[in-house]
Amino acid sequence: MSLSPLLCSLKQLLFPTTCPICGKVLQEVDDFVCLHCSIAAPFTQLWRTRNNIMEARFDGVVPIERAAALLWFSSGSAWRAVIHDFKYNSHWYYAENLGRWLASVFAEGDFFEGIDMIIPVPLHWSRRFTRGYNQSEHIAAGISHVTSIPYNFKAIRRNRNNPPQAKRKFYQRWDNISTLFSITHPEKLVGRHILLVDDVFTSGATLITLARTIVKACNGDVKISIATFAASQHLRSE
């Protein structure tokens, strides 16, 4: 047997050819999900709107330029299973595809205008070690691939696993959480417009903490935008 059929079967084994949402076999015209599921996805449209409900989470806490998620995220949705798989079940390659998809949709507007660096929310080294990867790095790599904006995976270190408590007024406990992240190379961030990338936006506490840490390390001379693959449906009702 020549090498290429072997590689092909390996690829088939590693990369499923069925749509992770509806389970149908993917056709050549399909991307990572089937055409039907990509059209019917619960898009937030937040990237089209300034001062949207996701950006409002940062109001009065830390200045940001833009914030948007691609899809709404709700319990019971098939998309939730996809996110779970790329987070915990080693399906990291989903994340890069989803990052490319996010970027191609956001790029239809002016969302990426002025952004010159992409930084994924880091995991603590122990979690990254046990999981083997950081899903947000793969989303960031996918966005970088489409937009040609470079990413930086080393400028920020996470010092602990525990995120700030959701549902609490975390910004009032800044002393407790200000050491969650360390900026290892602030000189690389000063004067830049950074896109912070995460998988899911729920309370926003982790991203707010990270954004505040960056602004502080740069003495305010930095711009920050936020992109996540999904945002909790709760944002719409709060």
Rounded to the nearest whole angstrom, what is the least distance from the CB of residue 95 to Zn ion in the complex?
18
Tokens of 196: 């912070």
Q: Is 22 in the site for Zn ion (CB under 5 A)?
A: yes
Stretch that binds Zn ion, among 16-24, 180-188, 205-213, 224-232 (CB under 5 A): 16-24
Rounded to the nearest whole angstrom, what is the least distance from the CB of residue 22 to Zn ion in the complex?
3
Q: Find the binding residues for Zn ion in span 126-145 (CB under 5 A).
A: none
By the 8 A CB rule, do 38 and 26 touch?
A: no
C-alpha dihedral (148, 41, 11, 18), degrees to nearest 10: -170
227, β-bridge pairs: 68, 197
Q: Write out the E strands in the chain.
A: 67-73, 117-120, 156-158, 181-183, 193-201, 223-232
Stretch that binds Zn ion, among 3-11, 13-21, 104-112, 185-193 (CB under 5 A): 13-21
Stretch that binds Zn ion, among 15-23, 119-127, 136-144, 168-176 (CB under 5 A): 15-23
Q: Is 19 in the site for Zn ion (CB under 5 A)?
A: yes
Among residues 32, 34, 47, 58, which is the contact residue for Zn ion, using CB under 5 A? Answer: 34
Q: Is 21 in the site for Zn ion (CB under 5 A)?
A: yes
What is the greatest pairwise CA distance in the chain? 64
Among 84, 21, 51, 64, smallest CA distance to 230 is for 84
Contact residues for Zn ion (CB under 5 A)?
19, 21-22, 34, 37
